[in-house]
A and B are shown apart, each in its own frame.
Chain A
Amino acid sequence: MNVAVCLLAVVACASFFSFPVQAEEREDYESDARYAEGQPPAIPHPFRDTADGKYCLRCHGTGLNGAPLSPHPVRITCTECHVKGEIKKHTRENKIKTKD
């Protein structure tokens, strides 16, 4: 798994640094799809939509409460992609207050 991840990252970086701003692009959609993001997981718990990522990253940036780590903590507009899903469990309320 780790090897695959590294490989993907290398492929991704290589193509990003040679990113053509104004050029004919290649047509290998399958290989593009391989390193493209898929559908972001829905949010299975109640949350506060703070629009600055702070509420979400408190756990998803640290692994607190067993939360899956965000692979892209620099993206802070979380609910732009992650839709509120079926509520399966209630997360523990954060002890640390986030500023709204």
Chain B
Amino acid sequence: MGGLSRRDFLKASAAAAAFAAAGASAAASLRPKDASASEGDIRWGKAPCRFCGTGCGVLIGVRDGRIVATKGDPQAPVNKGLNCIKGYFLSKILYGTDRLTKPLIRKGDTMVEASWDEAMTLIAGKFKESIDKHGPDSVAMYGSGQWTVFEGYAASKLFKGGIGTNNVEPNARLCMASSVTGFMSTFGGDEPMGCFDDLDLGDTFFLWGANMAECHPVLFSRMIDNRLRNPQVKIIDFATRYTRTSQMADQYVKFNPQTDLALLNAIAHVIIRDKLYDEQFIKDHVVFKRGKENIGYGLEDKFKFADEPKLIGFDEYKAFLKPYTPEYVAKLSSVPAKTIVELAHLYADKSRKVNSLWTMGFNQHTRGTWVNNLAYNVHLLTSKICKPGENPMSLTGQPSACGTTREVGTFTHRLPADMVVMNPEHREKAARIWGIDPKKIPAKPTYNATEMFRALDRGDIKVVWIQVTNPFQSLPNLSRYRKGARKGDGRFIVVSDIYPTRSTELADVILPSACWIEKEGMFGNAERRTQHWFKQIDPPGEARNDLWQTIELAKRLGYGSLFPYTYPEKEIWEEYRKFGEGQGKDLAPYESYTKARGLCWPVVNGKETTYRYVEGFDPYVKAGEGIKFYKNKADHYKAVVWARPYEPAPEVPDRHYPFWLCTGRVLEHWHTGTMTGRVPEIMRANPSAVCEMHPVDAGRLGIKDHQKVKITSRRGTIILPVNLNGRGKAEKGNIFVAFFDEGKLINELCLDAYCPISGEPDYKKCAVKIEKA
């Protein structure tokens, strides 16, 4: 540790102040309208932003029960007063004209208004009927990384502890699952060691498959601010598409899709070959492992996979890396060998503070777990980890993918605080806290998200309740699952949402939900920061909190005793935090969060932890221990460097389908556009999806800018206008289409292949052909 911690702490404070100072001049810009608004009869409150996993703090002004203004919270450590476009329009997301305000029940082709009692009676009846006839595994809950902590907890407790099925999955399986399995297999515990301060403190940033400028704009701004202050800062963008991020990076490194696996191994190869690794760190903190290879792609229904890790030595690892020479990988990836060598040296440069940041390019990957492992390898070999300003960091897409789905554990195999249903001691502990018989929690996980909708298509699942998400726009190979949902034969679909979506149109019952500050909530962001907000306005019409909805079902199924709360949010929190106590997942009492602008766990004796596994910051690491990966008891508190090979994608461009299709997000819209699609200003700025294409490819096919093209994969067809020179620019042989547009379901073209370890689908790679439409 040396003098690092104190100095870096001070530097962190200085950096924080500097970042804020950039916004300080903005304070002087207060337009008269805002100035008077802040003095009027407006009541101000705080909340984290409703959108992404950054978790920006927002101040919300309410007058006469309506949001009249939102502002970036200058006191919020995450964003220090700044918001992005989406955040600045938060005041409008709740007030779309088609807001759902009454329960609706399907009568043939129409949806008919109903009372809550009618709707809940029908839903409970369908659940009971299905459980009686087909068993508990015939009913399911499909939730969300936008669930509040309480909502996720109640759903998990009801299904796993009450109904007795592990049929609980979140949409976070589609975005963060590979990050979870990456953390679990490398460190034995989920979520990052570092925090967002690394963006202010680091000087070298490797971005992998992350268009931060559009998808995490506020974090990107922190990094760019850092570069303005410090000319040493270098941003290297590894990507398959030239984005706004690439444009602002110091170096853009384009590579062929899927070859990130080979590139990271080549970087490790050079680090070993040129003896750039930290021998002492490796000796003290690292073990080496190799797992199964040729592991498949999850394309078949009921696909199962279990890894068989074996310990290997450093020499075996070196031998494994031998074929990944810069020259070999240059051919595979199209990144010049010289660049690979240079960047490996940059990664290992002892005078630099090196960070890796990634998002869906890594996680939505048929080898998502592996590529997460490989990124950690490079940091572990060079000891660029667990230090302020140098860490690997997986950025999250949803506001509580971490806080709810990962920490509460609303995946089929998980329980709160990194526990799993397969482990009898874990089931025992959960049962004790829940006050139930441990036998109630089934020991076998059932379906990951994709498999859950495959089971619905086959008819193995009959009743599914979808909360706070839009799977019938967001699943891959979408046509199969949309058709499956309406096959009849006892299938019954409940969707809770705030607006009509492509999922509500397939529902048998639609329940109108409360959103964001229409209810009390807590979210956990990507840097382990748990944030709380109070209810500040009433939901419209008869819309109700999803937490209330789940507990109402519980009562009607006879599990009301699992939820004996008078102040459900607070009591659930106090119950839930028993899981993490003493496990390195400690959370503070409820009241602490109502005051603070979030706290990063573990929170021990009222103090949050910004850097984990490291002495001086993490109370779980004792004096003299330096760094300790204390969650990985099985490997004697060491982290794992994995020998994971390059394996090709399941579907690659060929003569018939010569282009790679990559899907993703844009700055203005969030995910399937349910909320941002209701903001007129945002819709004006970015109304519909386009097909980004390289001008050379377009020229070859005789396609002009803005002309319509027909894009076809083996699974579907879509017609879109081409964009040859937009904000994002496709590389030759690639196209990119955003998935927010509910009128253009690009996911119908996507392949539903997934990472066998994480179960997360790959939305970034499949083969398509392009014709003039």
Do A and B pair up? The answer is yes
Please give the residue numbers on chain A whose beta carbons come within 8 Å of chain B beta carbons, in ascending order: 4-5, 8-9, 11-13, 15-17, 19, 21-22, 24-27, 29-30, 32-42, 49-52, 71-72, 74-77, 79-86
* In the A-B complex, the 9 residue pairs with the closest CB atoms: A71-B29, A38-B34, A29-B44, A36-B71, A84-B685, A12-B27, A80-B217, A35-B27, A16-B20
Give CA–CA (A90, B84) in the complex, Å: 25
Set of chain B residues within 8 Å of A37, measured between Cβ atoms: 23, 26-27, 29-30, 71-72, 81-83
Set of chain A residues within 8 Å of B701, measured between Cβ atoms: none
Which of B8-16, B264-272, B301-309 touches A?
A: B8-16
User: Closest Cβ of chain A: how far from B210's Cβ, in Å?
Assistant: 15
- Given contacts A21-B12, A71-B28, whether A15 and B22 have CB atoms under 8 Å apart is no
- Given contacts A37-B81, A38-B69, A77-B221, whether A16 and B667 have CB atoms under 8 Å apart is no
User: Closest Cβ of chain B: how far from A82's Cβ, in Å?
Assistant: 8
B248 at the interface (CB under 8 A from A): yes
Give CA–CA (A8, B29) in the complex, Å: 10
Contact across chains for B681 and A85 when beta carbons are under 8 A apart: yes
Give CA–CA (A52, B74) in the complex, Å: 24
Q: For window 18-43 of chain B, which residues contact chain A by CB distance below 8 Å?
A: 20-31, 33-35, 37-39, 42
B727 at the interface (CB under 8 A from A): yes
Q: Please list 25 pairs of residues, one from A and one from B, whose beta carbons are closer than 8 Å in the complex, sorted by A's number.
A: A8-B27, A9-B27, A12-B24, A13-B24, A19-B20, A22-B610, A30-B38, A33-B71, A37-B27, A39-B88, A51-B213, A51-B247, A51-B248, A52-B247, A52-B248, A71-B25, A72-B23, A74-B25, A74-B225, A80-B84, A80-B213, A81-B82, A81-B85, A81-B88, A83-B682
Contact across chains for B17 and A16 when beta carbons are under 8 A apart: yes
- Given contacts A9-B28, A12-B24, A51-B248, whether A25 and B608 have CB atoms under 8 Å apart is no
User: Closest Cβ of chain A: how far from B356's Cβ, in Å?
Assistant: 21
B254 at the interface (CB under 8 A from A): no
Closest to B87 in A: A81
- Given contacts A12-B27, A80-B213, whether A36 and B84 have CB atoms under 8 Å apart is no
B596 at the interface (CB under 8 A from A): yes
Give CA–CA (A16, B15) in the complex, Å: 11
Contact across chains for B71 and A38 when beta carbons are under 8 A apart: yes
B568 at the interface (CB under 8 A from A): no
B462 at the interface (CB under 8 A from A): no
Q: Mark B224-258, 1 if CB is under 8 A from A, else 0.
A: 11001000000000000000100110000000000
Closest to A42 in B: B681
Partner of B595, one of A11, A17, A24, A39: A24
- Given contacts A22-B607, A51-B213, whether A38 and B37 have CB atoms under 8 Å apart is yes
Set of chain B residues within 8 Å of A25, measured between Cβ atoms: 75, 595-597
Contact across chains for B74 and A32 when beta carbons are under 8 A apart: yes
Set of chain A residues within 8 Å of B89, measured between Cβ atoms: 39, 83
Contact across chains for A33 and B608 when beta carbons are under 8 A apart: no
User: Closest Cβ of chain A: how far from B89's Cβ, in Å?
Assistant: 8
Q: Which of A4, A42, A49, A77 has the most CB of B within 10 A?
A: A77
Closest to B609 in A: A22
Q: A21-B13, A37-B23 provided; 6 other pairs, C-beta below 8 A?
A: A37-B29, A49-B244, A51-B213, A71-B26, A80-B213, A81-B82
B198 at the interface (CB under 8 A from A): no
Q: Which of B59, B74, B667, B684 has the most CB of A within 10 A?
A: B74
Give CA–CA (A38, B668) in the complex, Å: 18
Set of chain A residues within 8 Å of B37, measured between Cβ atoms: 38
B45 at the interface (CB under 8 A from A): yes
Contact across chains for A32 and B75 when beta carbons are under 8 A apart: yes
User: Closest Cβ of chain A: how far from B118's Cβ, in Å?
Assistant: 40
Set of chain A residues within 8 Å of B685, measured between Cβ atoms: 83-85
Set of chain B residues within 8 Å of A12, measured between Cβ atoms: 24, 27-28, 74
B497 at the interface (CB under 8 A from A): no
Give CA–CA (A49, B46) in the complex, Å: 32
Contact across chains for A72 and B596 when beta carbons are under 8 A apart: no
- Given contacts A9-B28, A22-B610, whether A74 and B22 have CB atoms under 8 Å apart is yes
Give CA–CA (A16, B608) in the complex, Å: 21
User: Closest Cβ of chain A: how far from B67's Cβ, in Å?
Assistant: 12
Give CA–CA (A42, B37) in the complex, Å: 19
Contact across chains for B88 and A33 when beta carbons are under 8 A apart: no
Give CA–CA (A61, B30) in the complex, Å: 17
Contact across chains for B244 and A51 when beta carbons are under 8 A apart: yes
Partner of B59, one of A8, A16, A29, A83: A29
Q: Which of B80, B88, B91 has the most CB of A within 10 A?
A: B88
Set of chain A residues within 8 Å of B31, measured between Cβ atoms: 38, 41
Contact across chains for A72 and B684 when beta carbons are under 8 A apart: no
User: Closest Cβ of chain A: how far from B63's Cβ, in Å?
Assistant: 13
B73 at the interface (CB under 8 A from A): yes
Partner of B17, one of A19, A32, A35, A42: A19
Contact across chains for B22 and A22 when beta carbons are under 8 A apart: no
Give CA–CA (A95, B189) in the complex, Å: 57
Partner of A22, one of B17, B84, B220, B608: B608
Contact across chains for A19 and B244 when beta carbons are under 8 A apart: no
Give CA–CA (A70, B89) in the complex, Å: 20
Contact across chains for B13 and A19 when beta carbons are under 8 A apart: yes
User: Closest Cβ of chain A: how far from B524's Cβ, in Å?
Assistant: 18
Give CA–CA (A85, B647) in the complex, Å: 46
Partner of B224, one of A17, A35, A76: A76
Closest to A26 in B: B75
Set of chain A residues within 8 Å of B80, measured between Cβ atoms: 19
Q: For window 558-574 of chain B, which residues contact chain A by CB distance below 8 Å?
A: none
Set of chain B residues within 8 Å of A5, measured between Cβ atoms: 28
Contact across chains for B228 and A74 when beta carbons are under 8 A apart: yes
Contact across chains for B667 and A80 when beta carbons are under 8 A apart: yes
User: Closest Cβ of chain B: how far from A25's Cβ, in Å?
Assistant: 5
Contact across chains for A34 and B38 when beta carbons are under 8 A apart: yes
Contact across chains for B16 and A72 when beta carbons are under 8 A apart: no
Give CA–CA (A19, B79) in the complex, Å: 13
Set of chain B residues within 8 Å of A49, measured between Cβ atoms: 244, 727
B77 at the interface (CB under 8 A from A): yes
Contact across chains for A32 and B77 when beta carbons are under 8 A apart: no
Contact across chains for B24 and A16 when beta carbons are under 8 A apart: yes
User: Closest Cβ of chain B: how far from A65's Cβ, in Å?
Assistant: 19
Give CA–CA (A9, B45) in the complex, Å: 23
Give CA–CA (A37, B59) in the complex, Å: 10
User: Closest Cβ of chain B: how far from A48's Cβ, in Å?
Assistant: 11
Closest to A30 in B: B44
Set of chain A residues within 8 Å of B12, measured between Cβ atoms: 21
Closest to B594 in A: A27
Contact across chains for A72 and B213 when beta carbons are under 8 A apart: no
B61 at the interface (CB under 8 A from A): yes
Q: For window 679-702 of chain B, which residues contact chain A by CB distance below 8 Å?
A: 681-682, 684-685
Partner of A35, one of B30, B82, B88, B220: B30
Q: Which of A5, A25, A85 has the most CB of B within 10 A?
A: A25
Set of chain B residues within 8 Å of A17, measured between Cβ atoms: 17
Q: For window 410-441 of chain B, which residues contact chain A by CB distance below 8 Å?
A: none
Q: Which of A13, A37, A84 has the most CB of B within 10 A?
A: A37
Contact across chains for A36 and B59 when beta carbons are under 8 A apart: yes
Contact across chains for A32 and B73 when beta carbons are under 8 A apart: yes
Give CA–CA (A82, B217) in the complex, Å: 12
Give CA–CA (A83, B217) in the complex, Å: 13
